[in-house]
Amino acid sequence: MDIEQSLQEAVQHYSAGRIAEALELCLAVLDQAGDNVDALHLGGLLAFQQGQAETAANLIWKAVQQDPAFTDGYLNLGQVYRTLGREEDAVACFRKVLELAPGHAEALALLGEPAPETAPQQAEQTATMSIPDALRFAVEQHQAGDFQQAEIVYRAVLNTEPNNPDALHLLGILNAQQSRFDEGISLIRQALAVAPNGEMYRNLGQAYLNSGNAAEAEAAFARARELGN
C-alpha cells in the first residue's frame, strides 16, 4: 500500500461525504503504519463523525503523542473529550493549545475566556484601509488563528459593502470553524447568491459535513465539482 496515496484518497472520500470509506482507508494505513500522525488524526475525526467518540479520542490522543506540537490535534481532542463529558481533560487540551499558540481565539472561546483586546493602533490602521487591503489583512489574521480580529475586519467590510462576496464567504468559513454552523452556512449561501464558484460550494459542503448534514454536504460538493473552479 502507498500510504501517501491512500491518505489522499481518504481525504477525497471525506470531502465527498463518504465517511465510512475514508475511515476504512485510514484504518488500513494504521495497520501498516500505526504511528502515522495524519492517519491517526483524520481517522479520529472520521470516527467522531460516525458517533464513535471513544475511538476518536483514542486515535487523536495517539496523534498528539506522536507530535506533541500538534495544535489542531489538541484542539480537536479537547472537543471530543468535552463530548464524552471529560471536561477536565478537555480543558487541559485547550490549555495546551494556548501554550503552543498563545492567544489562539478558538481555544479561548472553548474555554469561555475573552480574546486579547485589539490594539488601538491596529484598529485605526484597518479603518483607513481600502476594502481589498482590509480583506487581505483579515485573511492574514484568520490564518494566524486570530479569529476575533479577523471577524472584526470582515464585519467592518460588510458594514460598508453588505453584499461583498469575499467578506461573506470568509466570515462564513470563520463561523463554521468555530462550530457556529447555522450562521456560517447562511453567510456562505449569501456569498453564493452574489458570486457563485466552486471554492464556495466546497466550503459550504465542508460546513454541512462538519455540522452532520451529509446529504446537503454531498449536494454542495457535487455542485463544486460541476463548477470546477
Record the cell numbers describing residue 116, joined without a space: 486579547
Domain match, 135 and 215 both: yes
167 and 85 together in one domain: no
Does residue 87 sit in the same domain as residue 59? yes
- List Cβ neighbours of 39 (8 Å cut-off, separation of 6 or more): 3, 7, 10, 26, 29, 30, 33
Residues 120-156 have pLDDT tens digits of: 445 555 567 889 999 999 898 888 888 888 888 898 8
Domain end call among 60, 78, 111: 111
30 with 124, same domain? no
| 128/107 same-domain check | no
Show which of 111, 145, 176 is a domain's final residue.
Answer: 111
CATH of the domain at 133: 1.25.40.10
Do residues 93 and 154 both lie within one domain? no
Tens digit of each residue's pLDDT, the chain (229 residues)? 688 888 888 888 877 778 889 899 999 999 999 999 989 998 998 898 888 999 999 999 999 999 998 888 898 899 899 999 999 999 999 999 889 887 776 787 778 765 555 444 455 555 678 899 999 998 988 888 888 888 888 988 888 899 999 999 999 999 998 888 888 999 999 999 999 999 999 999 888 888 888 788 888 888 888 887 5
CB 71 within 8 A of CB 100: yes
Return the pLDDT at 119.
43
73, 89, 111 - which closes a domain: 111
DSSP string computed for the chain: --HHHHHHHHHHHHHTT-HHHHHHHHHHHHHH-TT-HHHHHHHHHHHHHTT-HHHHHHHHHHHHHH-TT-HHHHHHHHHHHHHTT-HHHHHHHHHHHHHHSTT-HHHHHHHT-PPPPPPHHHHHHHHTS-HHHHHHHHHHHHHTT-HHHHHHHHHHHHHH-TT-HHHHHHHHHHHHHTT-HHHHHHHHHHHHHHS--HHHHHHHHHHHHHHT-HHHHHHHHHHHHHH--
91 is in which domain, residue-wise?
Answer: 3-111
The values of phi and psi at residue 165, to 5°, are -65, -35
Nearest residue to 183 via CA among 199, 166, 197, 171: 171
Predicted TM-score (pTM) above 0.95: no
Question: Does 72 lie in the same domain as 46?
Answer: yes
Burial class (CB in 10 A: 0-12, 13-18, 19+), 172: buried
Contacts with 132 (C-beta within 8 Å, 6 or more apart), sequence order: none
Closest among 192, 194, 174, 193 to 183, alpha carbons compared: 174
Report how many domains make up the chain: 2
